[in-house]
Structure 1
């Protein structure tokens, strides 16, 4: 027996992106159904942002105390692993979504649990755990917010060793004795930092020549040096050839291209080698679209060629970050409401209906020690785009607020300046606790604030934000 319902908008995927789309359209006077096959709140709440940062926070706090003479004397023991894991569990509500489901109901959104597939124009069929079907018809729009999932590369035997993906790495109940991390991007570096601090012997295998390949080179170099200083074995140029289990051990065969292959042994292996869109088996073929890959969307997140369908968040591949998914949700929700009510949708740059920050002003933080906080273009991307630019660097340790923050503070601030318009294209901070410096850079980049104007944004003394003045002085020469 099939239950049939009609809503103005059907949102598939109840992660933070889907929750925000549904909330915005309901606030705009439309009705909405929110469909979820797993936990309401999605990846960020249970297997990504929240648990990973909870795992890292204790290590950050200890490092901060040890970095200040006088305070360091108070650090007389080691991190309590079980207490850290228990605190992590508290931030995931022990993987219960009762609280978030209550929020959905309170927001006036109907929650439908089950696996969803498109079934032609504006129709979504949801199959519940008991096999019952619910057919949801959308009067105005369907928003696909199904996100992304870990990609496991086609390495011989890798799937057979039951590897961790980021989900298992952030939710593990015990510290692995030896952890082999495949991939030196954001997830690989953060999880190497976390589990090493909690007692695991960690090896990082990165195929490229630098960690954090998409960041400024100084960032990857600084994180690699810090990981090595913490006892992590960081292997660059390491191509994984195969994996196998021998009893309780995982054996990973690696080649650096110069000598014979080497075997790395561990108790667990984490695959942190990228993501792929969750677009397989959701019925895209029923509306004339390919069944795999990221969705091609316009500036209002509308899927090209299918005007009633929206692809919001990781599913479109534009910026795979929680905060950018929520940003896109605000833009898509506003556009859906406008179109449903007959209002004009302005698709010019920086209008309330379009997503442009997810290409020009994307902020991100890597919560290693040192942290890497960045927004906008790196110098390499600015060069690739052909934009006239100049790179300005300043050592963060030379700022009075930094030396007060931590003894022997080391870090770097990098600004990529458009030399024709004299505005910032991108900013990167590398150093302890630089995440809190980032939003001022986001405002400057997204607002295209002229450098001449930034001279009048006076940083308080003595704070780390004084680095802004030093960057401007360096720019002026």
Structure 2
């Protein structure tokens, strides 16, 4: 055997499972597969172990939002308001944010991976045909892994930017720069009013920036219309400019750090010191080697209920998390990961050979039917399941019940409390298929709605789930009364 052949053989290993992507989704897939009895589970990551959520998304963004939300809440309660009249300590907010990212150091996450009995391989992974993954390290060396039982794509997503004239050549923020910034720009332009855009507009306005939020259609357009209206109203009340129904056509900047000029389709020119482009995300599959297994590079991975990727023979290629294009949320990625890791181990044991039935442990049913989400603006927006329009589009005979959130609990929570609530009822089955709550501190209402939707609890039985008084959850009683119970 030649030296080159010997080296190639040494750099090729057979293992049980290869998980591509060491974010929260990949970590959970690998852990569940290993706990299910698969000994050789390799986790491959080319950036920080822990992924987007830990370092550039969920954790740092909420750390930026929480101090100003607590201050605003105190100012709405006479007796506490006087104590909250001082200035916000912006430096302390940024320092606390950085603490949640461990200063962008993943040492503790690496320790967890190793302590869980998993192997971590640093490098960029690409498929190289069925069951084969080539990992290229930062020094250019490669290792080829061959998976006995499965390869799992958990590579997440990347920002998707619109085709705006000049954008490619203009330094600008994505969500990563927005959540890791070391200072607050005097003027911030935010392009895109989805979850990231709305949250960062809220955070930076309260941290002292002049903020202009530009929505192509409406603020939080994926939610019930009233939710976005209330968030837009709140931003305007705080001094932000909110532009709806406009699209950017061009952007230019004076040097790398000069002022940014954003031209809209109505001819207006907006000026800022930084530009955050938050117009959505796309699966990170452009360089995953999908073409070597018969798929198209850059596509979202279509999966069955167990996470198996459609269009690939042999029942070995799985996907979980943002890469599927379904419910790009950390908690939903972890939910899917648990199912994928468990079913991989079960199939290795000769069990769970068929596609799992809905609502069994190996199925990812909630990805399509009961996705809960919280938007940490002020007011908060929470939702689960379908909006009324989505339900109608799905052919469901729908009745929507909605009302202002005005109960004893909300009045105690804050003077001048502003909120709104909605239930989407499937009239044929008399169960909830969706719910939305908007208001200060409504995030804690969401899980009860999620249980009702997932459990398909009949409204007549839900009537007997008595909300405690005086809490904001009393809105459940008012909603069911409005329905007619």
TM-score (norm. length: structure 1): 0.97
| Shift in Å, 1:62 | 0.3
**Is 1:137 aligned to 2:143, yes or no?**
no
Superposition misfits of 4+ residues, deviation over 4 angstroms: none
Q: Which residue among 188, 206, 209 is the counterpart of 1:197? A: 206
Equivalent residues in 2 for 1:277-426, closer than 5 Å: 277-306=283-312, 307-344=315-352, 345=354, 347-397=356-406, 399-426=407-434
Task: Tell me, in whole angstroms, the C-alpha distance in 2 between the residues paired with 1:58 and 1:42.
Answer: 24
Task: Tell me, in whole angstroms, the C-alpha distance in 1 between the residues paired with 2:103 and 2:81.
Answer: 33
| Shift in Å, 1:250 | 0.7
Task: Tell me, in whole angstroms, the C-alpha distance in 2 between the residues paired with 1:460 and 1:201.
Answer: 41
| Shift in Å, 1:76 | 2.5
**Is 1:436 aligned to 2:439, yes or no?**
no
Task: Tell me, in whole angstroms, the C-alpha distance in 1 between the residues paired with 2:468 and 2:366.
Answer: 28
Task: Tell me, in whole angstroms, the C-alpha distance in 2 between the residues paired with 1:330 and 1:25.
Answer: 8
What are the superposed Cα offsets for residues 312-358 of structure 1, whole Å, 9 maximum, x if unpaired? 10001011111111111011112111111101345211111111101
SS of 1:211 mapped into structure 2: coil
Task: Tell me, in whole angstroms, the C-alpha distance in 1 between the residues paired with 2:362 and 2:479.
Answer: 34
**Is 1:232 aligned to 2:247, yes or no?**
no
Whether the aligned pair in 1 keeps the contact of 2:250 and 2:263 (CA below 8 Å) is: yes
Q: Which residue among 54, 67, 74 is the counterpart of 2:83? A: 74
**Stretch moving more, 72-81 or 27-36:** 72-81
Q: Could you say which residue in structure 1 is the equivalent of 2:481?
A: 473
Task: Tell me, in whole angstroms, the C-alpha distance in 2 between the residues paired with 1:14 and 1:384.
Answer: 37
SS of 2:377 mapped into structure 1: coil
SS of 1:202 mapped into structure 2: strand
Task: Tell me, in whole angstroms, the C-alpha distance in 2 between the residues paired with 1:177 and 1:73.
Answer: 27
Q: Which residue among 27, 30, 36 is the counterpart of 1:22? A: 30
Q: Which residue among 233, 256, 259 is the counterpart of 1:249? A: 259
| Shift in Å, 1:5 | 2.2
Task: Tell me, in whole angstroms, the C-alpha distance in 2 between the residues paired with 1:292 and 1:46.
Answer: 24
SS of 2:219 mapped into structure 1: coil
TM-score (norm. length: structure 2): 0.96
SS of 1:131 mapped into structure 2: coil
Q: Could you say which residue in structure 2 is the equivalent of 1:9?
A: 17
Task: Tell me, in whole angstroms, the C-alpha distance in 1 between the residues paired with 2:132 and 2:254.
Answer: 49
Q: Which residue among 147, 160, 179 is the counterpart of 1:151? A: 160
Q: Which residue among 45, 49, 71 is the counterpart of 1:36? A: 45
Q: Could you say which residue in structure 2 is the equivalent of 1:265?
A: 271
Whether the aligned pair in 2 keeps the contact of 1:152 and 1:159 (CA below 8 Å) is: no
Task: Tell me, in whole angstroms, the C-alpha distance in 2 between the residues paired with 1:140 and 1:428.
Answer: 41
Equivalent residues in 2 for 1:157-196, closer than 5 Å: 157-196=166-205
- Number of aligned positions between the proteins: 471
Q: Could you say which residue in structure 2 is the equivalent of 1:88?
A: 97
Structure 1 residues without counterparts, runs of 5 or longer:
none
What are the superposed Cα offsets for residues 44-79 of structure 1, whole Å, 9 maximum, x if unpaired? 000000000000001110011011111101112121
Whether the aligned pair in 1 keeps the contact of 2:43 and 2:118 (CA below 8 Å) is: yes
Task: Tell me, in whole angstroms, the C-alpha distance in 2 between the residues paired with 1:203 and 1:158.
Answer: 18
| Shift in Å, 1:471 | 0.9
Equivalent residues in 2 for 1:119-134, closer than 5 Å: 119-134=128-143
Task: Tell me, in whole angstroms, the C-alpha distance in 2 between the residues paired with 1:304 and 1:246.
Answer: 47
Equivalent residues in 2 for 1:47-58, closer than 5 Å: 47-58=56-67
What are the superposed Cα offsets for residues 250-281 of structure 1, whole Å, 9 maximum, x if unpaired? 1111123xxxx111111110000010110011
Superposed CA RMSD in Å reads: 1.0
